[in-house]
Amino acid sequence: MTNIKKVSELAGVSTATVSRTLKDPDLVSPQTREKVMVAVQQAGYRPNWMATSVKTGKSNSIVVLVPNLVNPFFMRIIEGIEQAAQEKGYSVLLGDTQGSASREHEYASMLLTNRADGLIQLDHSFPFSQDDAHLVGNLPVVSVCERIEGDKKYPVIELDNYAAARAVTHHLISYGHRSFGVIAGQISSQIHHDRLAGIKSVLAEEGIVFDEAMLVGGSYKIETGVEGVQQLLTRAQPPTAIICFNDDIAIGALYAIKKHGLRVPQDISVTGFDNVRVAAYMDPPLTTVDQPAYQMGRRAVEVLIQQINRQPLTRTREILPFSLLERQSTGPVSKPNQH
Amino acid sequence: MTNIKKVSELAGVSTATVSRTLKDPDLVSPQTREKVMVAVQQAGYRPNWMATSVKTGKSNSIVVLVPNLVNPFFMRIIEGIEQAAQEKGYSVLLGDTQGSASREHEYASMLLTNRADGLIQLDHSFPFSQDDAHLVGNLPVVSVCERIEGDKKYPVIELDNYAAARAVTHHLISYGHRSFGVIAGQISSQIHHDRLAGIKSVLAEEGIVFDEAMLVGGSYKIETGVEGVQQLLTRAQPPTAIICFNDDIAIGALYAIKKHGLRVPQDISVTGFDNVRVAAYMDPPLTTVDQPAYQMGRRAVEVLIQQINRQPLTRTREILPFSLLERQSTGPVSKPNQH
DNA sequence: CTGTTAGCGCATTCAC
DNA sequence: GTGAATGCGCTAACAG
């Protein structure tokens, strides 16, 4: 391990000068700068990151908590996070929690051990353990998409889920649908409530009563969509339109509907959320709500770094624009409302 | 920032005792242990990770280099990496390179700055820069799926791509196909050569000449599959079977074939690689080669940590088993070989 | 502009 | 079993 002292001896200067040359070259005369750079090159010297961190008290790393890695929507957010972080000189510690609270706690405690300067939470839970909660003063935390539960208020980058759900519902109603099924993801989250409220508000305006038996699901998986459709099709009056709370669910729904010998959208219309890449290549291409996932990740980092630098936040909640992509999985009802 | 000294004063012992109590409690008498633990609790003390790292010379982190995050196959590998790493007390630094060499260099240099103890490469390039190459003695590096180019030999966890490609080809030939198209991913990689060689070897055995004009593609994207099909369909004799080098390409191919008014598998059979989750829910469900991605990630970590601990490696190349999943995107040729 | 000095927070000899 | 002392590799204050 070649350290700063070796370099300083090689260059015939003090360690301080070496440090300065590397950190702020303008503070050093051109001649010594040259000498030092030669020595650095020759010795193959790279400053020890950990040592620098101990001195400065900054790790220049952030942790990202994500419930699972296989959801391409999350990955797109993390892509944005990664990119923005790198540009700002931060690196990203990956915290795949698999929904486990103890894992969340473990990752979150990285903030307490100076291992990371900030945390981005993609899930909705308060990530710290009971024990740690006392120590969490104003630690930099930002949540994306979801809102973190609990008393502490953290900045959040999110979508107007209420409005998005309204847009979807309006779109379907414009095709004449009046009988709706919903296949939800994580029931306990704010997203769920906002979206459901959005749907119900439009239905109420249209004089349609939402039948709670038409609400199924419980997790953001393909299988949820498959099972959801199976359940909805057993109803006395199956829905003519199914709103899925993410694209994976919608993919499962498309699959199950076709498997039942029904056609999309002639028999049943299907919508998703997220606009995952494959969504456009489904058969039929999926009507879905596009979320600016990449941009959300980027913003999360910017806001987080503001917190880390103790700069005042202009606002504690940012709402990014969605757009409804009307593709071919939605269409007019082909038969009267009665089945 | 509450440090070890505060705790030692609070407990009325030396800092050394506090350190010992936390690291190796058995070295300390039960009474003092109790005192220290109380003080730790009371002060809300957590050891500074960076300081520990400087002392021990170990970061207990590993970097993972991945060309892009949106490919669910990579994500499954990283899930395995993450899991295994956490179990062994390591954390994962995410290095999304987007295929850029300079980004690779930047991440790889983390090994030189003591920021990470080891590196896992999912791409095929030698990750260090020209400048750093001299310094890379025996730094712990493992590659997964791909083999790292260059003189240095690193351990690799991979699939028998040659055999897998042979299995796919045999499967198609058993259905009577004799006219094959191939839509490839990254052309420059070992994977590409192995798979292509596997296909050609079977064709040769069957007395079929592979027409190089039937080889298209160039990246692992859905769009590549779409464009690939468009090209293959312009050939004088379009293929009756198309082998795609990953599932994303195959998804694009399915889409394009259907868009051209042809049916899968009646007109054209399609196969993929990876067995991504959505593959089973395509229309028709995709015949593909299942790779134990999660397991590959786990093994990569185990091998890497062996290197980090300077334990001898039993073998420098591990080949994991694949399995061909025959689903509905492949079937018998419905018309004579001539178009 | 440069060198000296003094730590950052912790782990580890070596005495006792 | 415990404490004092030393140093990991680096940066920052202060002289000069």
**Domain at B35, CATH number:** 1.10.260.40
Q: What is the mean pLDDT of residues B208-212?
A: 95
CATH number of the CATH domain containing A153: 3.40.50.2300
Among A286-295, B189-198, B326-335, the least confident range: B326-335
Q: Say which residue the tokens 């990955």 belong to.
A: A75
Could you tell me if A173 and A285 lie in one domain? yes
* Cβ–Cβ gap B48/A54 under 8 Å: yes
Supply angle C-alpha B310, B311, B316, rounded to 5.
100
Return the pLDDT at A313: 86
Contacts of B46 in chain A (CB under 8 A): 109, 112-113, 135
Residue B221: closest CA among B330, B94, B65, B67: B67
Could you tell me if B255 and B200 lie in one domain? yes
* Cβ–Cβ gap B254/A283 under 8 Å: yes
What backbone torsions phi and psi does residue B217 show, to the nearest 5 degrees? 100, -165
Could you tell me if B121 and B182 lie in one domain? no
* Cβ–Cβ gap A281/B82 under 8 Å: no
Return the pLDDT at B312: 87
Could you tell me if B218 and B233 lie in one domain? yes
Q: A241: phi > 0 → left, psi -120 to 50 → alpha, else beta; which?
A: beta
d(CA A77, CA A4): 39
Q: Say which residue the tokens 């409302």 belong to.
A: A337
* Interface contacts (A, B; CB < 8 Å): 142
Residues 231-250 of B with CB under 8 A from A: 248
Return the pLDDT at A138: 87
Residues paired with A65 in a beta bridge: A95, A121
Q: Say which residue the tokens 């119900």 belong to.
A: A200
Is pLDDT above 50 for B290? yes
Could you tell me if A169 and A271 lie in one domain? yes
- Are A329 and A254 a contacting pair, CB within 8 Å? yes
Could you tell me if B202 and B235 lie in one domain? yes
Return the pLDDT at B339: 43
Return the pLDDT at B335: 63
Q: How many domains does chain A have?
A: 3
Return the pLDDT at A338: 42
Residues 245-304 of A with CB under 8 A from B: 248, 251-252, 254-255, 258, 277-278, 281-283
Q: What is the mean pLDDT of residues B181-210?
A: 96
pLDDT, averaged across chain B = 95
Is pLDDT above 80 for B30? yes
Contacts of B226 in chain A (CB under 8 A): 281
* Cβ–Cβ gap A114/B255 under 8 Å: no
A187 touches chain B (CB under 8 A): no
Could you tell me if A101 and A223 lie in one domain? no
SS3 B93: strand
B75 touches chain A (CB under 8 A): yes
pLDDT tens-place string over residues B53-99: 999 999 999 999 999 998 999 999 999 999 999 999 999 999 999 99
Q: Does pTM surpass 0.85?
A: yes
First to last CA, chain B: 76
Could you tell me if B18 and B118 lie in one domain? no
pLDDT values of chain A reduced to their tens digit, one per residue, 339 residues: 799 999 999 999 999 999 999 999 999 999 999 999 999 999 999 999 999 999 999 999 999 999 999 899 999 999 999 999 999 999 999 999 999 999 999 999 999 999 999 999 999 999 999 989 988 988 999 999 999 999 899 999 999 999 999 999 999 999 999 999 999 999 999 999 999 999 999 999 999 999 999 999 999 999 999 999 999 999 999 999 999 999 999 999 999 999 999 999 999 999 999 999 999 999 999 999 999 999 999 999 999 999 999 998 888 999 999 999 999 999 999 865 444
More confident residue, B195 or A312: B195
Q: What b-and-e string marks burial along A63-77, b requiring 16 or more CB atoms within 10 Å of the CB?
A: bbbbbbbbbbbbbbb
Is pLDDT above 70 for B337? no
Is pLDDT above 70 for B16? yes
The string of DSSP codes covering A62-126 is EEEEES-SS-HHHHHHHHHHHHHHHHTT-EEEEEE-TT-HHHHHHHHGGGTTTS-SEEEE-SSS-
Could you tell me if A94 and A181 lie in one domain? no
d(CA B23, CA B75): 34
Could you tell me if B231 and B269 lie in one domain? yes
Could you tell me if B126 and B193 lie in one domain? no
Contacts of B48 in chain A (CB under 8 A): 54, 113-114
Give the structural domain span for B223: 161-291+324-338
